[in-house]
Amino acid sequence: MTEYITYAKSGVNIDANDEMVERIRSSVQSTFSPRVIDLHGGFAGLFRLDFDEKIFKKNYKNPVLVACTDGVGTKVLIARDMGKFDTIGFDLVAMSVNDMLVLGAEPLFFLDYLALDKLDPVKVAQLVESIAAACRTANCALIGGETAEMPDIYKKNDFDMAGFAVGIVERNKVINGSKIEVGDVVLGLASSGLHSNGYALARYICFKKLKLKPDEKVAELDNERVGDCLLAPTKIYVRSIVKLLSQYKVKQIVHGMAHITGGGLAGNVPRVLPAGCDAVLDKSAWKRRPIFEFLQNNGPVEEEEMFRVFNMGIGYVLVVAKDFADSVTKKLRSYGETVYKIGVIRRGSGNVIIK
């Protein structure tokens, strides 16, 4: 008698995928705005750009679409080792929407890609629910995604994530740093921790050198479990920045912005500086979370290297006109941000000088 081979026998479970789709449906739909055209079982997501309903009217004069893609890096390994999958989606969404925000763009929609060794509907549902929660925070719709079960590529319990975001900005409102001038003030918004960069080094120090367990509490980290500290989700700055920019419909008082990711302040701020300007930053102007000092001391890691690898407590930077620095600071604080005046723009050659 012939013994037939099934897809499930080769390691891919179609029934588990169907269960997963049902589990995530409500989370995904919770991100929908009236601009999403919901097609149950559709092969692609639909999103209206312009629409004329009285309550939700939104029309553009000269719109430019902005697209970003990113992943989470080896931070997923900490989520795996902790068995904690309810926050990592924030990192995935934040990495893309904070990047497009730098241009003054408003996120519209997001798509995710999850790849695993084995499709566990409960685990995937937690991952997608965290992505959906982040999309709600960023006011963007989660209109699609893909889950790939690949036991021949990923080891047991391994997984990876990638995200794709599309946003929009009026062409005459694009912020590209060209208006930055000598005398402008540099404002820094506090990060929530390491965000999603530098984890190869952080993991080496914590788990290889110090031989800590992810669930081990550490006195220098306010007696928090090291895994929880490292999993602190990346802060999403969308609502605050979009609201701020909407307050200045004529004047462009925000001359440049930077999302502080891989490369830190030294590597990301120069990306928006004109050739004739330097950003001079005072590293004593803001408070750092304990995780930075912990990693620096236990590496040990030189200060310059710390600033090249980590955000060092500043997750997002704005360069604003000097006369508006105080009012911008006040507004951002009223929106719930922790804001520091971290530097000024001087004549130079497009570099960041950290003193």
Please state which CATH number belongs to domain 8-173.
Answer: 3.30.1330.10
For 171-189, what is the mean pLDDT? 97
Of 220, 266, 240, 206, give the one whose Cα is nearest residue 328: 240
Q: Is the predicted pLDDT of residue 14 greater than 80, yes or no?
A: no
The structure's pTM equals 0.92
What ranges in the chain are assigned the alpha helix state H?
14-29, 75-82, 88-101, 121-137, 199-203, 226-230, 238-246, 264-268, 290-298, 303-309, 325-334
**What distance in Å separates the CA atoms of residue 307 and residue 355, rounded to the nearest whole number?**
11
Q: Do 185-354 and 8-173 have the same topology in CATH?
A: no
More confident residue, 11 or 168: 168
Do 200 and 265 form a contact (C-beta atoms < 8 A)?
no
Contacts of 12 (CB under 8 A, 6+ apart): 119, 149, 151
Q: Is the predicted pLDDT of residue 7 greater than 90, yes or no?
A: no
pLDDT tens-place string over residues 141-179 = 999 999 999 999 999 999 999 999 999 999 999 999 999
Q: Is the predicted pLDDT of residue 84 greater than 90, yes or no?
A: yes
| Average pLDDT of the chain, as a whole number | 92
Q: Is the predicted pLDDT of residue 29 greater than 90, yes or no?
A: no
Looking at residue 112, its pLDDT comes to 97
Query: Into which CATH architecture does domain 185-354 fall?
Result: Alpha-Beta Complex (3.90)
- DSSP state for residue 285 in the 8-state scheme: S
Other beta carbons within 10 angstroms of residue 155's beta carbon come to 7
For 310-333, what is the mean pLDDT? 98
Among 50-64, 83-97, 109-123, the minimum mean pLDDT is found in 50-64
* Residue ranges of domains in the chain: 8-173, 185-354
pLDDT tens-place string over residues 250-275 = 889 999 999 999 999 999 999 999 99
Looking at residue 49, its pLDDT comes to 84
